[in-house]
Amino acid sequence: MKSSSAAQKSEIQQKAKVGLTTSEADFIEKAREHCELYIVQPYELYSAENHDAWRLLFARMRDRWGKYANEHFLKGVDSLCLDPNKVARLDDVNKFLEPLTHFKAKPVSGYVPAFMFFDCLRNREFPTTITIRRSDKLDYLPEPDIFHDIAGHVPMHTDPAFADALVRFGDCAHTAAHIVSGIADEHEKLQKLTSIIRAMARFFWFTIEFGLMNTKDGMKVYGSGLLSSYGEIEHCIESPDVQRYPIQLEWVINQSFEIDHYQPLLFYVENFSHLFDLVDELERWMKDGRLNNVAPGEPGVNEEDLRSFLGASV
């Protein structure tokens, strides 16, 4: 039978081996148990295997970024001085990011309810996952990880025009909360809010996560879900099976999507001024009631997301 000290040593060694691996991190589980959403990044907990996963992910994306990513992203990667061999330290990322657009990465323990997420964007904060996928499962991502958030999203936040579009998107969430606060009938309130949240989620998906840009050098990627995926960043540009259309707001807000396979339908903008104008249009449509009955289907809207908006509207 092991002694108490030997057992403690074994437990410490096991934690060091696991590190901050997605779905296996004791630190994250404890934060969730204590309802701690906004946390610190315990950088010393990253294991050698965690850093190896980052190194492998970064190394294999470099050539694909050079070929398929938009120029603003490439400039952003350089501006952030990301270490290709070690998991990003958020304090270091913010040191380079904040002077450019006043945005910063904000570490979280897990899912951020919709209104809270959009409100963070409004305040130039990006909720950032701190765990990282396993090095032997680089293409399997059950939930966002730090590579997706920092190497996929954050380089785009160095661009002032893109950053401003995110802030405007955060404004839309406040507009939605204000609109539903004036609806007395509870059934009507929930129905309209569900539709508005679904429209906003679809817009975010087809732009911020999976958006394409029509440039002088051809079609390029600016969506973070594509920028952090080794397989899909090439597939979305090269495959004849992907439909690519100039973005139309009425199409996007009524188009359902599924998250567990490569996207068969994508939309492109002309530039980030175009994206900003689209967010303005989204808010106008919201005020005019044009988001109150969008087409049903994915994504689903959960009770936590609904409560986050309803609580903000009180």
pLDDT value for 282:
98
pLDDT at 139 over 90: no
pLDDT band at 1 (very low <50, low <70, confident <90, very high): very low
What is the overall mean pLDDT for the chain? 93
Residue with tokens 């060091």: 16
Give the residue from 304, 138, 153 showing the smallest Cα distance to 230.
138
Contact 263, 236 (CB under 8 A): yes
pLDDT value for 143:
81
Contact 56, 135 (CB under 8 A): yes
Residues 44-58 have a mean pLDDT of 97
pLDDT value for 9:
46
Amino acid at 111: Y
User: Which positions ≥6 away from 199 have C-beta within 8 Å?
Assistant: 253, 282, 286, 291, 294
Q: Which two tokens stand for residue 302?
A: 């959960």
pLDDT digits (tens, 9 = 90+) for 68-120: 999 999 999 999 999 999 999 999 999 999 999 999 999 999 999 999 999 99
Residues 227-236 have a mean pLDDT of 96
Instruction: Report the half-sphere exposure of 107 (CA within 13 A, side-chain side).
Output: 20
Residues 162-166 have a mean pLDDT of 97
Amino acid at 198: R
pLDDT at 304 over 90: yes
pLDDT digits (tens, 9 = 90+) for 4-47: 555 544 454 454 456 999 999 999 999 999 999 999 999 999 99
CA pair distance 118, 113, nearest whole angstrom: 9
Residues 166-177 have a mean pLDDT of 97
pLDDT digits (tens, 9 = 90+) for 195-217: 999 999 999 999 999 999 999 99
pLDDT digits (tens, 9 = 90+) for 235-268: 999 999 999 999 999 999 999 998 889 999 999 9
Residue with tokens 């992907």: 242
Give the residue from 256, 314, 307 showing the smallest Cα distance to 114.
307
Contact 163, 146 (CB under 8 A): no
Percent of the chain with pLDDT over 70: 93
pLDDT at 132 over 90: yes
First-to-final CA distance of the chain: 58
Please give the full DSSP string across 129-157, using - where no structure is assigned: E--B--TT-TT--SS--HIIIIIIIGGGG
